[in-house]
Amino acid sequence: MTQFNFFLKLLKESFRDLIPIVLVILFFQLAIIQAVPEGWVSTAIGLVIVGVGLAIFLQGLEIGIFPVGEGLARDFAKHSSMGWVLIFGFLIGFGTTIAEPALAVIADKAASISSGRIDATVLRMVVALSVGFAIFLGVFRIIKGHPIHYYIITGYIVVVSVTFFAPQEIIGLAYDLGGVTTSTVTVPLVAALGIGLASSIKGRNPVIDGFGLIAFASLTPMIFVQIYGIAVYNLVDAQEVANVVVKSAVSSPADISINSVISGIGNVVRDVVPILAIIMFFQYGVLKKGIQNLKTVFFGFGLVILGLYAFILGLELGLFSLGETMAYQLTKGDSVFVIYAFAFAIGFSTTMAEPALMAIAKKAKEISDGKINDFALRLFVAAGVAMGIALGAFRIVDGGHIHYYIIVGYLLVIVLTFIAPKYIIPIAYDSGGVTTSTVTVPLVAALGIGLATNIEGRSPLIDGFGLIAFASLFPMITVMLYGILTEKLGVKSDTEIEAANILKDALVDAENMDLATVNIDGSDRRHSLPMDFSAVVILVPKDKKIDAIQAANKAGAPGVTVLRADGIGLGKIDNYYRTSFEANDAMLLFLLPQSLVNPVIKSIIHSLHITTSGKGIAFAFPLTHMKGISLSRHDIFVNRKDHTNPDINTEELIKKEEEKVDEKIKETAVVHDPSINK
């Protein structure tokens, strides 16, 4: 029942995300083109199938791909199998890319562009190797803990440098290949691998270190393809080959038949099976460990296949053909500004419905503890894609060289990298790879080819490519701007909000005997809170007093009262009047929040060996009516986990809150002034 309710929630969100596409098409079709599209019934049915397929796909990710990817990463980290996890990353990148249908289509077109110099099969191998190397490099970075921007900036420098030596025919193609190599199924699995590794390796942050693998997979193909192009254009002679005709096609909606359904599902299975085979090999052959909930995992993969096929089928039922027709009709019009407006609107609307982006945004929200809002992230990514495609359309109309635009864009990304908060940078880099996938690529490619075909002096085979590169570049800029904006506005994670509210909403009723009144960090700011305290009493030989205090401090004790004591044991109690009352012992009194009692006692008895060969007595008893004690914010947040959120004891977020909450305290806290009560 829980899974069904989750599916209904996903279904509702899916249809909500399709609304922008419907509105864009209706507006341009009725207001600009002023014609009712043919086959609108087929298009409407297709949109319904898209919504249902998208919900099924996302549910399959949650119960199949994400758990398996993160589980593999944890097992690799636990077994210290650095070599195997690197090989796994390479094979996932290579195996999923070589079977990518979009890559096969573009490779065939590349053969025509090069007059036979470039072999389609060899090009696919080059791109697949580059993606395999990218995932290999990204996994290596996570293991070593290197900052991602060093790698990305170096990659940008290499891309731009190689561009000046690459033949003109290959540049736009190489840039576009950086955006189409990360498929809808690959992205979630690669993201799960990165986040799982970063969560399992000590000292790594899943937000800062877990993302970034997709960014590498979008960057390396640009380098490898341009180098390959330089080689073949210098070493291979042009041949007479049959031209691959590329037109701004006005296609017709797909027909549904039993054979087409079987063929379509088979194509999706072909994309998913290599991933499943690689996972099974490493799970059972390398780690020699079974997959938990195997039936659920296979069911999840089945949902991914079914959902992805339904999604693609719905698009083919009319949305693709309608988008291609509109692109063709708009390029025949008189106003270029209408073209730019359509490019912006179609880029925004299709990106909002992109399955890979939805998966990444949900995962970003989850591991950032709500600091990153998934819907807001998608809005900024969609805005970046929209601006990128509009600018790319302007480049085709204007006839400028693509690499000048790309260089300026990369420079802006590099500048923002040093300004944006660290947690948003890897997500921003990944955003460039997840935006150009199942929905966006066909419509964007149709627009670019349509423009280049109908504008005099433009070549569809050279100028028509490049829009996907713009759609991959600008989301990085807008997402980093989103990170900067959230910092300026003081947006907090769920745990940070919880921690701040502990102080903000604290009662200031010092006369309430049911509440403990505490000073914050030793200041005169007093708050009354529902906290439980205990007294911990330690009786130890005087020469062990310092050791006991140090052990308690190490466990988090905020203070201690030291008293001189003279202990009389069993052997002397009968003759106590003959005993010298010189204080040879020390009594240590700790007044502690309940959460610190066990850690402090354990630390002391272990340090002084009280439970084995050492001397001393330790005991505790609960306290009531606690007034006037001084605690740090850290102690309050940790102790309050029993009263509020059980996950509040997250060390990193607590540490960040300790740095930021002071200003909030000054704004919201009320100083307890005795004169107020008079």
Q: In the 8-state DSSP scheme, what is residue 544? A: G
Which range, of 48-52, 151-155, 599-603, averages the lowest pLDDT?
Answer: 48-52
Q: What is residue 440's predicted lDDT score, i.e. its pLDDT? A: 61
DSSP codes joined into one string, 312-360:
HHHIIIIIHHHHHHHHHHHHTSS-HHHHHHHHHHHHHHHHHT-HHHHHH
- Residue 481 has a pLDDT of 93
Q: Evaluate if residue 374 carries a pLDDT over 60.
A: yes
> What gap in Å lies between CA 494 and CA 86, rounded to an integer?
34
Task: Pick the last residue of a domain from 494, 520, 540.
Answer: 494
pLDDT of residue 129: 92
| 562: three-class secondary structure by DSSP | strand
Report helix, strand or coil for 412. helix
In whole angstroms, what is the distance from residue 315 CA to residue 310 CA?
9
Q: Which amino acid is at 642?
A: D
Residue pLDDT, tens place only, 97-152: 776 656 766 677 667 656 667 787 888 889 889 989 988 998 888 888 888 888 88
Evaluate whether residue 504 is within a structural domain. no
Which of 379-383, 512-516, 520-524 is least confident?
Answer: 520-524
Lowest mean pLDDT among 332-336, 566-570, 599-603: 566-570
The CA angle 547-553-557, to the nearest 5 degrees, is 130
pLDDT of residue 657: 45
Whether 408 maps to a domain, the answer reads yes
Decide if pLDDT at 426 tops 60: yes
H-type helices in 205-332, by residue range? 213-235, 258-280, 294-314, 320-331
CB 472 within 8 A of CB 179: yes
Over range 514-522, report the average pLDDT: 65
Question: Would you place residue 249 in the very low, low, confident or very high pLDDT band (cuts 50, 70, 90)?
Answer: very low
Q: How much is the average pLDDT of 412-425? A: 89
**Residue where one domain finishes, among candidates 467, 494, 521:** 494
- Residue 424: pLDDT over 60: yes
Q: End of a domain among 494, 520, 535?
A: 494
Our separate counts of H helices and E strands in the chain read 25, 7
* pLDDT score of 646: 44
Q: Which among 153, 219, 603, 204 is positioned nearest to 411, based on CA atoms?
A: 153
Largest CA distance in the chain: 118
Q: Which residue in the block uniquely carries the two structure tokens 């593999």?
A: 72
Report angle CA 98, 175, 361 to the nearest 5 degrees: 75
Q: Are 604 and 548 in contact (CB under 8 A)?
A: yes
Q: Which two tokens stand for residue 162?
A: 């190689």
Q: Which residues neighbour 240 within 8 Å (Cβ) at sequence distance 6 or greater?
A: 115, 116
The pLDDT confidence band at residue 438, using thresholds 50, 70 and 90, is low
Question: Which pLDDT score, from 0 to 100, does residue 180 have?
Answer: 66
Tell me: do 486 and 557 sit in the same domain.
no
Q: Provide the number of structural domains found in the chain.
A: 2
* Within a domain: 238: yes
- Tell me if 501 is assigned to some domain: no
CB atoms within 10 A of CB 579: 13
502, part of any domain: no
**How confident is residue 638, by pLDDT bands cut at 50, 70 and 90?**
low
- Same domain for 424 and 296: yes
pLDDT at 274 over 90: no
Judgement on whether residues 285 and 361 belong to the same structural domain of the protein: yes
- Indicate if 450 and 559 belong to the same structural domain: no
Q: Is residue 499 part of a domain?
A: no
Judge if pTM exceeds 0.85.
Answer: no
HSE-CB for 480 with a 13 A CA cutoff: 22
CA distances from 26 to 40, 289, 322, 333 (A): 10, 53, 11, 18
**pLDDT tens by residue, 452-505:** 777 777 776 667 777 778 888 899 899 999 999 988 887 777 666 655 555 554
| Co-location of 486 and 523 in the same domain | no
535 vs 290, residue with greater confidence? 535
Confidence at 245, pLDDT banded by 50, 70, 90: very low
The rounded mean pLDDT for the chain is: 75
d(CA 134, CA 17): 31
pLDDT of residue 380: 93
What's the confidence (pLDDT) of residue 614? Answer: 81
Same domain, 523 and 468: no
Query: What value does the CA radius of gyration of the chain take, rounded to a whole number of Å?
Result: 32
CB atoms near residue 575 (< 10 Å): 9
Q: Check which CATH number belongs to the domain holding 568 and give it.
A: 3.30.70.120
Of 12-16, 151-155, 245-249, the range with the highest mean pLDDT is 151-155
Same domain, 203 and 248: yes
Label residue 259 exposed, middle or buried (CB < 10 Å: 0-12, 13-18, 19+): exposed
Whether residue 454 is found in the same domain as residue 575: no
Same-domain pairing of 414 and 543: no
pLDDT-wise least confident of 44-58, 269-283, 486-500: 486-500
Contacts 24+ apart (CB under 8 A), 335-341: 336/397, 338/32, 339/393, 339/397, 339/451, 340/390, 340/393, 340/394, 341/390
Query: Mean pLDDT across the stretch 89-101?
Result: 77
Cα–Cα dist 306/268, whole Å: 8
- 585 and 561 housed in the same domain: yes
**Does the pLDDT of residue 242 top 60, yes or no?**
no
Say if residue 92 is in the same domain as residue 218.
yes
User: Lowest-confidence range among 30-39, 261-270, 666-675?
Assistant: 666-675
Are 270 and 80 in contact by the 8 Å Cβ rule? The answer is: no
The percent of residues above 70 in pLDDT, for the chain, comes to: 72
Domain with 572, as residue range(s), is 510-677
Domain membership of residue 503 (yes or no) is no
Evaluate whether residue 47 is within a structural domain: yes
Q: Are residues 469 and 515 in the same domain?
A: no
